[in-house]
Amino acid sequence: MTEAVNIEMIEAAAERLAGNARRTPLLSSPFLDEIAGRRVLVKPECLQHTGSFKFRGAWSAVSALPEDRRARGVIAFSTGNHAQGVARAAQRHGIPAVIVMPADAPKLKIANTRAMGAEVVLYDRVAGEDREAIGTKLAQERGLTLIKPYDEPLVIAGQGTIGLEIAEQAAAEGVTGGDVLICCGGGGLTSGIALALEARAPGLRPRTVEPEGFDDTARSLAQGRIARNERTSGSLCDAILTPQPGNITFPIMSRLCGPGLVVTDEEAQRAMAAAFNRLKIVLEPGGAVALAAALFRPEAVSGDAVVVIASGGNVDAGVYRAALERFGETA
């Protein structure tokens, strides 16, 4: 079966993103290398526009729409980072955006999405309201184009541009083999990066990292078919709590990714504190799980060097202070 995304689509996305998305650097610290027992190269997508990698996929999708369709506007459903990415991409294209968000999303994310000119529609995630149904209905009523958060080829292609950059930047550091650890929700980031690495850095192996209790991708990869999470809330890592891998993303991940890794919320907090002390970047819990795996599960990682995606930094100050209070002096 042909996959819905390929390297040509990722390269086309990279052209649309050039000058619009940031090319993030690769950061490192000898202190992190020592903890991990190998070189750790961190790709800080928290420094991307809107504070997470999601801007890439959003820009990729919005910029690829036919002009007349784009002018009618876009809609997205999201725990927050995709929302901000789509809102900003729409704002910079001068088109309307409606964002369907869970009522329990971080306040900062809701406020930011509104401040970027989007109309925010809240739904109750805990009560089991179906965000996809809400989004689809609004899209039909208003003629908006739905920008799905991960199971959408143009979005996956946009996230894949990170893989193109890693291929170049890791090679410049002399790293052409080893694991690439990727914070994983629905798999858009992972599958995009996996396709880019397959084409441009085949010695680098993509691996998913998820929070304990929400390891749908790790279980899906292990059993070769899509598995669901029992819960949809209850982890600090709000950004990556999706019910199951996507129908488009899973076959790609299944073909290209190594075994999935799982870390605890506490390890994510420790990684946030380590990133504070050693890299001077702000990570949200869900954006810190890949770094947590590199630092605290070194026996499950292979290679002399590991590349880590630090996928986002949109965290409420109170959550961040709590992580620093626990681990800021020791991480």
Residue numbers at the binding site for its own copies (CB under 8 A): 22-25, 27, 30-31, 44, 46-47, 51, 88, 108, 112, 115-116, 273, 276-277, 279-283, 313-314, 316-318, 320-321, 324-325, 328-329
Rounded least distance, CB 247 to its own copies, Å: 32
Q: Could you tell me if 310 and 275 are in contact, meaning their C-beta atoms sit under 8 angstroms apart?
A: yes
Rounded least distance, CB 151 to its own copies, Å: 27
Q: Could you tell me if 236 and 184 are in contact, meaning their C-beta atoms sit under 8 angstroms apart?
A: no
With respect to its own copies, which residue has the nearer C-beta, 111 or 222? 111
Whole-angstrom Cα distance, residue 129 to residue 123? 7
With respect to its own copies, which residue has the nearer C-beta, 97 or 283? 283
With respect to its own copies, which residue has the nearer C-beta, 44 or 186? 44
Rounded least distance, CB 292 to its own copies, Å: 17
Rounded least distance, CB 270 to its own copies, Å: 12
Q: Could you tell me if 255 and 330 are in contact, meaning their C-beta atoms sit under 8 angstroms apart?
A: no
With respect to its own copies, which residue has the nearer C-beta, 5 or 307? 307
With respect to its own copies, which residue has the nearer C-beta, 84 or 217? 84
Query: Could you write out the DSSP letters of every residue in 99-139?
Result: EEEETTS-HHHHHHHHHTTPEEEEE-TTTT--HHHHHHHHH
Rounded least distance, CB 18 to its own copies, Å: 12
List of residues 6+ apart from 51 with CB closer than 8 A: 81, 84, 312, 313, 314
Whole-angstrom Cα distance, residue 141 to residue 121? 14
